[in-house]
Structure 1
């Protein structure tokens, strides 16, 4: 499999992203075995960017291990610092999902269409009758009775005022009115 190449900007960004990570794979005295390669492959599939700790090897041996890992698993060497190796392999499914999400959320107008500011476009959609165009889910208009504020007539008729914010009111009144009652001597301490 071909070795993945990175630009210096990508390598720098990946190095910064790998800084808080801890090594997830440890290569022991036996060196780079098939089981270790399988474990590295599994963790790359799960995390994309990993740190590997190499124990008991000289710098030349660690360089050889890094190149073998990158060629075998088609990943990129991000950094080699002491006994720590940082490697990266992008997940193709995650990249496809990110590109698909980016394409669906971005509204692109054709070059042949004239530019319409957002406010005008929103007003045009609001003025359209329901059931026409792409916006079939128009909001229902609020009745005038629901919009007007409650009056004393409503209270005297026995209707309990609905709180605007959705939190029910206490029947005993507010804390200020309770304190005022305590000052007047209506409640015992």
Structure 2
């Protein structure tokens, strides 16, 4: 049994941002090192790898804003968001002549653009999370209804057995007279 693909994606992020250092990674995202380490080891209690939890995913995307949320969760796309071409951003001044933005301005614009993309991804992620939470509530409700139905069925069966037993006792009393 190999390591799950979701866990491999976390491993890739650790390699990318922390040169494979799990301690540094755990400190940066605020998740304990043992929880991170367990993602890459088979749990001896059930002989399976632990799943990457939603709080680990949130911590990653909150710390590393250039991580592609969709790629992290689904594996679709590049793990890093596409780099915007910033080396030659050109704007026209009042005389329609061209001038280059300073490197510092370009970095600020790029940072802000990445922030916008990050927050759009965050919104989409939370929308999906809410949909999942609603689905879980639906399943919990269904389970409760099913549990109640089983209880009712058991009570009906007990009642039917009691009626059969009562009728049997009546027949025995009648046959004795």
TM-score w.r.t. length of structure 2 = 0.27
Structure showing the higher strand proportion among its residues: 1
Q: Which has the higher contact order (CA 8 A, sep 6+)?
A: 1
Bigger radius of gyration:
1
TM-score w.r.t. length of structure 1 = 0.26
Structure showing the higher helix proportion among its residues: 2
